[in-house]
Structure 1
Amino acid sequence: MAKSSADDEELRRACEAAIEGKEKVVMSIRVAKSRGIWGKSGKLGRHMAKPRVLALATTSKGQSAKAFLRVLKYSTGGVLEPAKLYKLKHLTKIEVMNNDPSGCTFMLGFDNLRSQSVAPPQWTMRNTDDRNRLLLSILNVCKDVLGHLPKVVGIDVVEMALWAKENTPTVTRLTTQRSVPDSPVAASAAESDLKVNVEKELVSQVEEEDIEALLGTYVMGISEAEAFSERLKRELLALEAANVHAILESEPLIEEVLQGLEAATLCVEDMDEWLGIFNVKLRHMREDIASIETRNNKLEMQSVNNKALIVELDKLLERLRVPSEYAACLTGGSFDEANMLKNIEACEWLTSALRGHEVPNLDPSYANMRAVKEKKAELEKLKSTFVRRATEFLRNYFASLVDFMISDKSYFSQRGQLKRPDHADLRYKCRTYARLLQHLKSLDKNCLAPLRKAYCSSLNLLLRREAREFANELRASTKASRNPTVWLEGSTGSSQSVNNSDTSTVSEAYAKMLTIFIPLLVDESSFFAHFMCFEVPTLVPSGGVSNGTINGAHGDDDDDLGIMDIDDDDDGKAGKSSAELEALNESLQELLDGIQEDFYAVVDWAYKIDPLRCISMHGITERYLSGQKADAAGFVRLLLDDLESRISMQFSRFVDEACHQIERNERNVRQTGVLSYIPRFATLATRMEQYIQGQSRDLVDQAYSKFVNIMFVTLEKIAQADPKYADIVLLENYAAFQNSLYDLANVVPTLAKFYHQASEAYEQACTRHISTIIYYQFERLFAFNRKIEDLLYTIPPEEIPFQLGLSKMDLRKMLRSSLSGVDKSISAMYKKLQKNLTSDELLPSLWDKCKKEFLDKYESFVLQVAKIYPNESILSVAEMQEYLASM
């Protein structure tokens, strides 16, 4: 009988190696796997038998044990690998297939298969012995480990039990293959155990009853059991003899096979030794290859790093290299206009090189390198050398430009010709070096301070010379008659005609001075701020620039400063820096300081010719101030403020002198009629209104208030000098004030206020003067009436006739003395009113006021008499009115 694969120890070890020792392999055997013909797949490959190995394995963890059936397949290299795992606890049926006549094909049914529609695999053994050994081993493991047996279909249990008895050594070797080899004790124990297993445990109680019934039926069909038993014994002996004979016949073959196996074992052992040697050599070779690869990787990495380092060093060397043409330009190049492009390129390179050596732009690891430090020191030396050379050149250049212009008299105003200052050529030449100044600022901010100071000092000389020559020629070419400042003095004469002379050329000359120089100064301030790289917004020129003809010479208005050409790369700064603005104002003070003296000289000259022209000049200055707003240069605005203050001071001086002239009138011993300054003030106010021209309203209104207050105070003092004629002086002068200012008061609110004030004072003076005349002519009449009015406060009216001096007799005496010849008394009152008046045009209105006042008083007297003396007859009011009307 051929050797079974269940006894192959190499197969068992291969199985354990495939499952990596996870379970204990109880048995392993080679089988063929196939599918039933009723499977769904119709492919031929699925019905072909495939070699497989079934391994029965167990695991034990503590008291629990598990049993598995593993299916292993052969890989491409002939190595076993796990293919499928079945848990024996789910095994429910063992069925031997009827379609295989040999009985070597069986199927295992599990209750946990996912798809019951797929036919389970069929396992085919080499012979029935292998089949029985596998199935018995499965049944024993299920009984021992799991405690239950699956259902067996298609095989007789009795036959299996008989086969187990006959093949006890085989089964024993199967179950005791993990015991100590060649141990008789172990073999006997295994045999006894196997008997117990086969006889007592292999067949259950139910199955045993079925077998007994079957055997009973079988015996019932035989006549004699003993004869049948004898026959079976004979057959058994015959079979055993045949088996022994067959074994003896096959002994030479077995020996030949054993010899071949021994030779093959020797070859295999030699092969195994050679393979071990080759394995060692291959392992050493692998280690050498790994070492070579490691060194190769390091060399490749080093090569890459070296290349990157070379590239980085080339970049650093390029950054550290100073081009010879730039070095020559920075250390000894010319600053002529033709070479400025090269100088600018050198500056740009130097600026970028210095910026490139700063830590944010340079890798910090390079900052401490000796070469970098040395190159940075070299660049700093180049920078200081170039800044020093450029600063010295520009200082000399600014001075030479201004000296050239000052030495040429054609730049300035001359006798008979006003010359408008033209700085277009100066700015054009300066603009050539604007970009250079920007680079100097980026290289060294501190170098700009001396340059700004040099530019301001040089240009200040030019501006002051231009302003002085222009102002001198402006005054010399302006023809105007001089008006005296004695405007409100008491004397009259030729001065009145002098005051009416036209002096408009004076204010026109002042306006021309501002028109020419204020825009020029604003432009110079703006150009200076941008040319000298102050970080402030663009200064807008004022609106007072005019392109006119000055004595035949056309003025060129050069407002294009070319600032955008100077600084194309920088965006406008959004906010002013207070420090920059303060520095700019200080520089502008130095640039323009001293030029205000020529403006002051024009103001003083105009004041001497006609003080009233201060009003026009004040309005012109206000207009320029409102045009400048916050956009003008600081110094120009201060200059306009100072001019406005100086004009206001000169005009205040004129007003004070005029007020002093008014106050001198009170020193006269006796003055009658209208004072001289009343009509002269009207003339002065008229001319002042002509000079206002819509400006300087506050200045003139303040002068009006000062004039009128002094006039009224002086008038009151003059009137009080002679109380007898005080009211006459007041009413005549207040009336003259109103008559002379009637037209102006309708258009000037300030004069309207004083007009109403004079009107009230006039009414009060008239009332006092008329009352004095009335009481003088009718003293007894109105004295008697006053006594009655005083007594009415203390006693009733009916008791008044009984008072001393107020009897009816006293009333009659008073009426006879006062009203007899009343027409003469009224005529005398008129003559007295007429006697002291110097203005005849006031007499009609005063006489009407006098008659009205007298009639009102007389009517009051008549009512009092009728109330207290009812039976007394008296001249009626109507009769008295007729007397007054007849005068």
Structure 2
Amino acid sequence: MTAIKHALQRDIFTPNDERLLSIVNVCKAGKKKKNCFLCATVTTERPVQVKVVKVKKTDKGDFYKRQMAWELRDLTEVDAKDANKENPEFDLHFEKVYRWVASSTAEKNSFISCIWKLNQRYLRKKVEFVNVSPQLLEESVPSGESQSVAGGDEDALDDYQELNTREEQDIESMMEVCEYAISNAEAFAEKLSRELQVLDGANIQSIMASEKQVNILMQLLDQALAEVDNIEGKLLSYEEMLQSVKEQMDQISQSNRLIQISNTNNGKLLDEIQFLVNYMDLSKGHIKALQEGDLSSPKGIEACINASEALSQCMNVALNPGHDKLMAVKQQQQLFSELRDTFARRLTNHLNNVFVHQGHDQSSTLSQHTAELTLPKHSPLHRDLLRYAKLMEWLKNTQREKYDGLSRTYVDYMTRLYEREIKDFFEVAKIKMAGTSKDGKGKFGLHGSSGKLTGSTSSLNKLAVSSSNSRRSQSSSLLDMGNMSASDLDVADRTRFDKIFEQVLSELEPLCLAEQDFISKFFKLQQNPTLAQAENVDDSDGTVHSRPLSEHRQSISEKDMVRMMMNKIFQSIETELNSLIALGDKIDSFNSLYMLVKMSHHVWTAENVDPASYLSTTLGNVLVTVKRNFDKCISGQIRQMEEVKISKKSKVGILPFVTGFEEFAKLAEAIFRNAERRGDLDKAYIKLIRAVFSNVEKVANESQKTPRDVVMMENFHHIFSTLSSLKISCLDAERKDAKQKYTEHLQSYVINSLGQPLEKLNHFFEGVEARVAQGVREEEVSYQLAFNKQELRKVIKEYPGKEVKKGLDNLYRKVDKHLCEEESLLQVVWHSMQDEFIRQYKHFEGLINRCYPGSGITMEFTIQDMLEYFSSIAQSH
């Protein structure tokens, strides 16, 4: 390897001014062994460039050539594969990874060590060495060892030091004195050696001459040591003197520390006393307000509120450890407890009296609202009670039992009050719904000074039945609507019902919202969830109590408490609303449409305000009943359609449920315009129109007087016209279906009817078409005995123009008898018959020309004659 190294240095690197530092014999990993050499080199010129050069033999094998070179600064990682075991493989990471296998592990380690040293010396960016033994990564080789990076060259490189400027000048001046320095180096070196010996002797003589001065210096040092001993003695005496002073100062410091501790303790004691005085002292004014404060005047209420807040602060103050053991603190706490209990009793008794007093005042004003469809307003009561809201909050935080008792008392009182008001209010609403007619008969009167309503719910129902018998209101149906005019429908009654129902809901909505808002503010129930008493329970003796918290398994949020109180107070609203809805449905089943729209709107409004409110929940429950009545109304109309019977002696015409559907759709569109529950109406439309379709076909199939095609044609034409005018988007498919059925049955009726005026001619040409269909050629049909030219002329002669016109006139009369006047389809049918007759005429002519060519046979009448026949017949009738 040494010979190869010298050869490479001589042939490849010396001509490029480079020095070879290390070499390793390698081949590529995983391939056939094509050996080459990796060389670590540095340039001899500055700045030094470090490279890794790949060298391989030429093809002839006699010389080496430089194949590839990489700058060492481009090397990012050296991976030795295994730091503990001998492994000849290693990777060099340049712009890509080069994998090599060295001829021996020693050569690999020597090369990697050289690379590491060059990286440490010349490069700022350090290369990462992976899986390399730490022994290889040494910055320098110890002196005395013969091995180096590459045969000692790198050590020589490390020992080499450049001469500074002064050394260069001295060497140059010395060489100038000795002219033979360059030509005779040995003589120059000998001269330098002699001069060095001379200088060494001069140095020894100089040292010997300075012995006297050294002795003088030693004497001075002895004197200095003596002086130091003297100073140390004086310092020792001073220290003994200061020792007594130190003891005195320690005594003074101990006394000062004791005084400071005493002052600190006194300050802390004063702070504690000041804390107790500031936070546990209630003023005489607050005590008087709690004991004797006027709870009926605004000033007295304000004073009680301030006093209760001050008392709460005193009772809730956070005492330091040990305060509760002080007798004064215990006495003060006992005083606060007595004041709290006393004021809580006074406040509870006063609010109970306020509830009773306000109840009597409110009952006295009920007679003012019974005659009108309005509910009494409780805003004055709420306004008076809200002055105590802060006191209720104090009671809730301090005396929960008394707070719960007050809430139960308020709920019990308001339940009875609202129950009377709501009952009277709904009685007035029922009378207004059922007791008024257009002629003014059947009204209920108000009797008695107290304003009590005469009659009961049963009498109201009897009144509804009796009045409905005279006004068709008991059983509204599509059949009735189809047989009556707009005036008979009594739109005014339905409009009045709609207004009454809307007024009922409009009165209930603000009443419930105001009461819920008051309960939340007065009882402070809009805050965070908390535990509460369980739901009130009525015993058999009528006493109201609450279950203890231990029996209530789940915690109740304050929002749930509001809902429970509202359910108790307004427990009669849902029952009364359902009763009113049943009455409205009994008066007129179509009232369910009005109720569905109004109820849906109010439910939507209530949910926007508060989805979890009592009003939203209650109206939502009632809406289910209204929707059920609406569905029952639609099912009833369908059932009546299925039960309809037609007269066998008269023509059918437009069926009553078809016109009834038209009137129903117009009414529903007017009611449901911009309604939230439009989807319910669309579903009802689908059910009704499908029932109309199926029952029209059923009646058409059962009809004996009127042809089936006429029944289908007229009724589906009417249905198509209705759907086209109303433009109901969900019925677009049914509208197209109705038009298709109308067109199909019109065409069928026209074709079947036209076969009668020219019956023999039609039969003759049907026979001709049958022979052609059987395979007889058209020009050979005339050779058939039953269809020869003589038979054709014979049939044509039976239908001269006069007979054709007579047949068409009879056909017109027959069609006129079949069709009804309401739909006005006579001219449409007649025009369609004209078009069909012309088509048949042209078809017959075509058959004559194809089957009887050259015979000269033609019809007895022309198309122009036919047009004149149809026109004159239509004008004559």
The amino acid across from 1:488 in the alignment is L
Change in CA separation of 1:788 and 1:312 when aligned onto 2, cut-off 3 Å: same
The within-5 A match list for 1:815-830 is 815-817=793-795, 820-823=798-801, 824-825=803-804, 827-830=806-809
After superposition, the C-alpha distances for 1:137-156 in whole angstroms (9 at most, x for unaligned) are xxxxx99998452999xxxx
1:499 aligns with 2:455: no
Q: Identify which of 341, 361, 369 aligns with 1:413.
A: 369
Q: CA deviation at 1:880?
A: 4.7
Of the structure 1 ranges 381-390 and 287-296, higher mean CA displacement relative to structure 2 is found in 381-390
Name the CA shift for 1:368/1:775 in 2 (closer, same or farther; >3 Å). same
Residue 255 of structure 2 aligns with which residue? 295
> How many Å apart are 1:867 and its aligned residue?
2.9
2:691 to 697, 707, 710: 710
> 1:720 Cα deviation (Å)?
0.8
The equivalences for 1:470-869 within 5 A come to 470-476=425-431, 479-481=436-438, 483-484=471-472, 485-489=475-479, 497-500=487-490, 502-503=492-493, 504-535=495-526, 579-632=557-610, 634-666=613-645, 669=648, 672-674=651-653, 675-692=655-672, 694-695=674-675, 697-722=678-703, 725-737=707-719, 741=722, 745-749=725-729, 754-779=734-759, 781-783=761-763, 785-786=765-766, 789=769, 795=775, 797=777, 801=781, 806=784, 809-810=787-788, 812-817=790-795, 820-823=798-801, 824-825=803-804, 827-832=806-811, 834-835=813-814, 836-839=817-820, 841-869=824-852
How far did residue 830 of structure 1 move?
4.4
**Quick check: 2:295–2:301 contact (8 Å CA) kept in 1?**
yes
The residue number in structure 2 matching 1:872 is 855
SS of 1:762's partner is: helix
Q: Does 1:432 align with 2:387?
A: yes
Q: 1:316 aligns with which of 276, 290, 302?
A: 276
TM-score of the aligned structures, taking structure 2 as reference length = 0.57
Judging changes above 3 Å, is the alpha-carbon distance between structure 1 residues 295 and 863 closer, same or farther for their aligned structure 2 residues?
same
**Is residue 419 of structure 2 the alignment partner of residue 464 of structure 1?**
yes
Quote the Cα distance in structure 2 between the aligned partners of 1:438 and 1:712: 67
Note the alpha carbon deviations across 1:544-577, whole angstroms, 9 max, x for none. Answer: xxxxxxxxxxxxxxxxxxxxxxxxxxxxxxxxx9
Change (3 A) 1:766 1:812: farther
Task: Report SS of the residue matched to 1:432.
Answer: helix
Residue 408 of structure 1 aligns with an amino acid whose one-letter code is: S
Deviation at 1:456, TM superposition (A): 2.8
Query: Aligned-residue CA RMSD in angstroms?
Result: 4.6
Instruction: Please state whether the residue corresponding to 1:413 is helix, strand or coil.
Output: helix
Deviation string, structure 1 residues 248-282 (Cα, Å, up to 9, x no partner) = xxxxxxxxxxxxxxxxxxxxxxxx9xx99x99999
Match of 1:875, SS?
Answer: coil
State the distance in 1 between where 2:383 and 2:806 align.
93
**Structure 1 stretches lacking a partner, 5+ long:** 1-141, 153-170, 179-271, 538-576
Q: CA offsets, 1:213-269, max 9 Å, x none?
A: xxxxxxxxxxxxxxxxxxxxxxxxxxxxxxxxxxxxxxxxxxxxxxxxxxxxxxxxx
Matched letter for residue 428 of structure 1: R
Q: How has the CA–CA distance of structure 1 residues 420 and 810 changed in structure 2, closer, same or farther, with 3 Å as cutoff? A: same
Deviation for aligned residue 1:301? 2.9
User: Following the alignment from structure 2 to structure 1, what is the Cα–Cα distance between the partners of residues 787 and 774?
Assistant: 22
Task: State TM-score, norm by structure 1.
Answer: 0.56
Would you say the 8 A contact 2:305–2:390 is kept in 1?
A: yes
For each residue in 1:468-524, what CA deviation from the matched residue of structure 2 results, as whole angstroms up to 9, or x when unmatched? Answer: 223323444563445423443479988975423522222222222223231221122
CA distance change for structure 1 residues 783 and 430 in 2, over 3 Å: closer, same or farther?
Answer: same
Call closer, same or farther: CA 1:291–1:681 in 2, change over 3 Å: closer
- Does residue 1:149 correspond to 2:213, yes or no? yes
Q: Is the 8 A contact 1:354 1:376 kept in 2?
A: no
Q: Residue 329 of structure 1 contacts residue 343 of structure 1 at CA under 8 Å; is this kept in 2?
A: yes
Matches within 5 A, 1:27-426: 147=211, 149=213, 287-288=247-248, 290-316=250-276, 318-321=278-281, 335-337=295-297, 339-357=300-318, 362-363=319-320, 365-366=321-322, 369=325, 374=330, 378=334, 381-382=337-338, 385=341, 389=345, 392-393=348-349, 396-397=352-353, 399-401=355-357, 403-405=359-361, 407-410=363-366, 413-415=369-371, 417-418=372-373, 420-426=375-381
Equivalent pair of 1:727/1:768 in contact (CA under 8 Å): yes
> CA separation in 2, counterparts of 1:493 and 1:509?
28
Q: Tell me if structure 2 keeps the 8 A contact 1:728–1:769.
A: yes
Instruction: Tell me, yes or no, if the aligned pair for 1:781 and 1:818 is still in contact at 8 Å.
Output: yes
Secondary structure at the residue paired with 1:630? Answer: helix
- Deviations along 1:793-828, whole A, 9 cap, x unmatched? 6747368539xx846853541452255224425533
CA distance in 2, matches of 1:461, 1:146: 132
What is the deviation of 1:430? 0.7
Deviation at 1:372, TM superposition (A): 9.1
Do the aligned residues in 2 keep the contact of 1:412 with 1:470 (CA within 8 Å)? no
Cα distance in 1 for partners of 2:686, 2:242 equals 126
Deviation at 1:436, TM superposition (A): 0.5
Asked whether the 8 Å contact 1:858–1:877 carries over to 2, the reply is no
Alpha-carbon separation, structure 1, partners of 2:513 and 2:841 = 78
Task: Give the aligned partner of residue 170 of structure 2.
Answer: none
- The equivalent of 1:101 in structure 2 is none
Aligned residue in 2 for 1:230: none
How many residue pairs get matched?
Answer: 580
Structure 1: how far apart are the matches of 2:759 and 2:718? 32
Structure 1 residue 380, shift from structure 2 partner: 8.3
Larger radius of gyration: 1
Cα drift, residue 611 of structure 1? 4.1
Shift of 1:646: 3.6
Identity of aligned residues (%): 17
Closer, same or farther: CA 821–780 of 1 in aligned 2, 3 Å: closer
Task: Pick which of 577-586 and 452-461 moved more.
Answer: 577-586
CA–CA distance in structure 1, aligned partners of residues 770 and 402 of structure 2? 98
Distance in 1 separating the partners of 2:314 and 2:785:
127
Residue 673 of structure 1 aligns to which amino acid in structure 2? V
Per the alignment, in what secondary structure is the counterpart of residue 524 of structure 2?
A: coil
Q: Which residue of 1 aligns with 2:443?
A: none
SS at match of 1:514: helix
- Give SS of 1:666's match: coil
Secondary structure of the 2:609 match is coil
Q: Distance in 2 between matches of 1:377 and 1:144?
A: 104
Question: Partner amino acid for 1:585?
Answer: R
